[in-house]
Structure 1
Amino acid sequence: MGFPGTWMTESESVVYRVVPKCACSTIGQIMYYSDHGEFFDGDIHDAKGGMHKWALEDSQPLITANIESHKSYAFTCVRNPYTRILSSFFDKICGIQRNGKRYRGNLVPLLIQKYGIEVGDPETGFEFDQIKSFRRFLLFARDTIRWRRPMEPDIHWSAMSGHISTFIVNGGKYDRIFWTEHFNDGMKAVLDEIETPKPVDITKIPRFNESEGHGPKRAFPVEDYFDDLSMHLVYEIYKRDFQLFKYDFEDPSNKMPTGEIDLTEVHAKLGE
């Protein structure tokens, strides 16, 4: 199976397992900058050079050799499951994508038809019942993850532990997993452990949120979107994420982690 979703700097200073909706655009740009002294002009997900990616065939042997010998420092980044699934909804379901179209072509019409979801329209300022539609989207997300229908689960709302486990199962070992909620501290800790061809001052790095501005703004606090049933669904989908990455399931309004991530526990539980 190899190492899907893995990026590595050309200098092989660091290896990163991408987890969608967890600051991956910013992390990718920092990696690119650390080799080249400039940011990639465009969305880093579109870069076909300047960085090794598992999706690029020529990069695969280099990434495999590096990870199997644990030659470089390896890390990833996680996010509160409540805010992550909300972000996926507003970006991928309600938002207009970089190509000017809806995400995955027929996905949104399918959701409108089968789940009664509304997504609004840029022409009318994206006015719709956000809470009702989001809760219906949660049902859809659960159906894709639990029963793989009406489609396979999408990488943007499948569990973080699933993404992170493929790296471990195939022979990789993480040196650090940090939280987007403490991004600067976490990214600085990674940079402090590696030698980069170009120096990176984390305090001067802009945020690269490629999905921003393409869809409706969240109109309510996070906790308003999750009633008792929604919380139950979220726990059903993301139980391991809450447990392993130390997030508070009981309180959707608390996006901050409640304890330290135990890397030994993560490797043991996700390496099975």
Structure 2
Amino acid sequence: MGFPGTWMTESESLVYRVVPKCACSTIGQIMFHSDHGRYYDGDIHDSREGLHKWAQDDSQPLIESAVRDRRGVTFTCVRNPYARILSSFFDKIAGIQRNGKRYRGNLVPQLAQRYGVEVGSPEDDFDFDQIRSFRRFLLFARDTIRWRRPMEPDIHWSAMSGHISTFIVNGGRYDQIFFTEKFNEGMQRVLDAAETPHRIDVSQVPRFNESEGHGPKRAHKVSEYFDDLSRHLIWEIYKKDFQLFRYDFDDPDNKLPKGEVDLDEVHAKLGR
């Protein structure tokens, strides 16, 4: 099984378990810069050199060895589940991707047909009922996660605890888990604990949001997207994420965690 979704600097100073929709573009660029003293020219997800990735065959033995021997600082980053699923909808479902096409080809037409999801288009300035369409998308996301129908769950909306657990189950251990909502302080703490070839002040790093500007802007505050049924579905999908990472289920507009992550608890509960 190994360590899917894991990136590592070539210097082996940083080992990162990617969690989609949790600042992964910015984290990848910071890792690249910490080795090379410059940012990758393009989307870091497209890089094939300068950063070890589990998806690259020649990187696998190096990542495996570093994780087993506990070399480097091993970390990941989490995000409020309400904001994360909304971001997935606006980026992957309502937005146009970097290649100018819809995400996963026929996924959006399938959602329109089966679930009545509307997303507008650049031609009509993405004019659609965001709340109604998001709630229908949420039913679809729940169906993929609960019953794996009409497709397998997508990495962008499957639970963070699922991504994070594969690393633990296969023998890894996290040194730090920090919050997207407190990004600068969390990422700086990771860098300060590592011996990187180049030092970085996180407050000076640009944000590499690769999905920015390719779709509609969110028109309402977070809580307006979640009625009683939506919140029931969110709890069904992300119960572990709320509990382990201390996010506030009762107030969707409170994006901040209610406490720090207990690493021992995460390893105990996700390592089974």
- State whether structure 2 residue 202 is matched by structure 1 residue 237: no
For 1:242 and 1:91, how far apart are their aligned partners in 2?
A: 22
Residue 224 of structure 2 is matched in structure 1 by 224
Report deviation, 1:203. 1.2
Identity, % of aligned pairs?
76
**Residue in structure 2 matched with residue 255 of structure 1 by the alignment:** 255
* Aligned counterparts of 2:103 and 2:203: Cα–Cα separation in 1: 33
> Secondary structure of the equivalent of 2:155?
coil
Structure 2 stretches lacking a partner, 5+ long: none
Tell me the equivalent position of 2:55.
55
Q: Which residue of 2 is the match for residue 43 of structure 1? A: 43
State the partner residue of 2:126: 126
- Which letter does structure 1 place at the counterpart of 2:29? Q
Q: Report what 1:93 is aligned to.
A: 93
Task: Give the aligned residue type for 1:59.
Answer: S
The aligned amino acid for 1:22 is: C
Q: How does 1:18-167 map to 2 (within 5 A)?
A: 18-167=18-167
Superposition deviation, residue 187 in structure 1: 0.3
Amino acid at match of 1:42: G
Q: CA deviation at 1:20?
A: 0.1
Q: Which amino acid aligns with 1:242?
A: F
Corresponding letter in the other structure for 1:132: R
- Displacement of 1:152: 0.1
Q: Which amino acid aligns with 1:135?
A: R
- Whether 1:171 and 2:171 are equivalent positions in the alignment is yes
CA distance in structure 1 between the partners assigned to 2:141 and 2:19 by the alignment:
17
Using the TM superposition, give the Cα deviation of residue 260 of structure 1 relative to its aligned residue in structure 2, in angstroms.
1.4
1:195-233 deviation digits (Å, cap 9, x = unpaired): 110111111101000000000000000110001110010
**Number of aligned residue pairs:** 272
Counterpart Cα distance in 2 of 1:136 and 1:120: 15
1:72, distance to aligned residue in structure 2 (A): 1.5
Looking at structure 1, the residues matched to 271 and 146 of structure 2 have their Cα atoms a distance apart, in angstroms, of 21
Residue identity opposite 2:70 in structure 1: H
Q: What do residues 29-74 of structure 1 show as CA deviations (whole Å, max 9, x unaligned)?
A: 0000000010000000000000000000000000001101111210
Aligned partner of residue 140 in structure 2, secondary structure? helix
Report the counterpart of residue 206 of structure 1 in structure 2: 206
Q: How many angstroms does 1:82 deviate by?
A: 0.1
- 1:118 alignment partner, SS class: coil
> What is the alpha-carbon distance in structure 2 between the residues aligned to residue 28 and residue 244 of structure 1?
24
| Aligned counterparts of 1:223 and 1:261: Cα–Cα separation in 2 | 24
User: Partner of 1:185 in structure 2?
Assistant: 185
- Once residues 13 and 224 of structure 2 are traced to their aligned partners in structure 1, the CA distance between those partners, rounded to angstroms, is 42
Q: Distance in 1 between matches of 2:154 and 2:134?
A: 16
After the TM superposition, which segments of 4 or more aligned residues of structure 1 sit over 6 Å from their partners? none
CA distance in 1, matches of 2:143, 2:199: 45
CA distance in 1, matches of 2:64, 2:155: 22
TM-score normalized by the length of structure 1: 1.00
Q: Following the alignment from structure 1 to structure 2, what is the Cα–Cα distance between the partners of residues 36 and 260? A: 32
Aligned mates of 1:142, 1:122 — CA distance in 2: 28
RMSD across aligned positions (CA): 0.4
Q: Which runs of 5+ in 1 are unaligned?
A: none
Equivalent AA in structure 1 for residue 170 of structure 2: N
Amino acid at match of 1:269: K
